[in-house]
Amino acid sequence: MNAPKADPHRPHAPALTLTDPRTGRPRGTSVLGREREVGAAVAAARDAAAAWRALTPGERAGRIGGLASLVERHAATYAERERAGTGKPRAEAESEVAGAAELLRFYAGAARARTAPAAGRLVEGHESWVRWEPFGTVAAIVPWNYPLMMAAWRCAPALAAGNTVVLKPAETTPDSAALLAEHAAEALGAGVLVTLPGDRETGRLLVAARVDMVAFTGSAAAGAHVAAAAGTRRVSLELGGNGPALVLPDAPEHTWDDLAAAVTYNAGQSCAAPARVITLPENYATAVARLTAALARRHAGRDFGPLNNAEQAARWDRIVGASAARVRRAARIAPGTGEREGHWRPATLLADVPPDDPAVVDEVFGPLLTVQRAAGVDEALALANGVPQALAGSVWTRDLATGLDLAGRLDAGEAWLNCHLVQTPELPHGGRGASGAGTDLSVLALDEYQRPKTVTARLR
């Protein structure tokens, strides 16, 4: 496939060489937006804002549904673009493209079903109601782990709420976002959804530009910079996780394979992936043995893709290399023909690790599970809640009452019982602490991109 090319008529915009994470070899170039590109993108979105806002929810829903249809019609092309930038297996890419289309349709309908709070004759002689109004133009800055899906998570509710969007994809994965912008221009109208390829500097310039809100998904460090630069403007932040999995002695038989599948999906490059398995003394040895066996059945190159880029691969090597784990188990790497130089890393287990181990306290963002042993359930919960991130976690036990109690006590925005990474557009997803603030998915995410206005009229 052809990656986005640098425009020869824009000599001031530098270009980035894109690489294929499966091979490590160059695959094309992409423009890195600077002042002129950022200004043009924001101006186009602002020019389109009034007309897009003026549409009825039903009219916007029809157009967003049209965009979903275009994504579905060109699903094969979207999947290939996703694979070019991420190296995902075909089945993963195709599933995520379908999920992005589903999310567009979900929010197209969800915005029409909104009900305003506190409407009616609430003060004697007066009638009051609440209007939900869009912010205007939203800067959506998304990461490279799920390029199209994360774009849909941010853009779908923002568009449905009546905002226009400037979408900045990650510098290594501009491919599907460029196609989305083409289809958005056809389905939504010019300027309603504009894609701005670029790097960190592009993102900095976009946040500093005349946008009314910033929706950012990425690292905690970058999120802190975004929040500071945004000032008093609305900011929605999803800043990663370091998910615990509390595995009790009576965990169901499917626990081990489910955790192995969840931590290797997308090569573990998911903010909500399980990362830290926490057991009790009586099932610690069993957990290490069963997880080792389950991970050994998951081969990088056959069952999951590579890490996204050289920087991420180097970070993996640094954290895993610095770990003081006394038990290390790594599965096989099985890349395809010509892919040996890609950013492949094996499904790995580290056990007998200290609580301050870098593989425990840092978000590794790869196919890695650590295993820790707690003296009891309360200590296990303390370990689970003992890192700065608080995005998602899971509990594994056949005792429903115990499992629900522990899930409720996890410091996380999303908790699973006897499963992990089970998500649907109807259910909210959001972080706490160092994992950010804000809500993705569900009708609640519409509140991220709208603000209420109370209107009260005197009747006499």
β-bridge partners, 141? 168, 216
- Give CA–CA dist 139/210, Å, rounded: 9
What DSSP character marks residue 241? -
CA dihedral 82, 88, 94, 95 (to 10 degrees): -120
Buried b (16+ CB within 10 A) or exposed e, 186-207: ebbeebbbbbbbbbeebbbbbb
Sorted by sequence, the CB contacts under 8 Å of residue 459 that are 6+ apart come out as 125, 126, 127
**C-beta atoms surrounding 317 within 10 Å:** 13
H/E element, 295: helix 281-296
- Give CA–CA dist 218/150, Å, rounded: 10
Active site residues: 238, 271
DSSP secondary structure string, 23-78? T--EEEEEE---HHHHHHHHHHHHHHHHHHHHS-HHHHHHHHHHHHHHHHHTHHHH
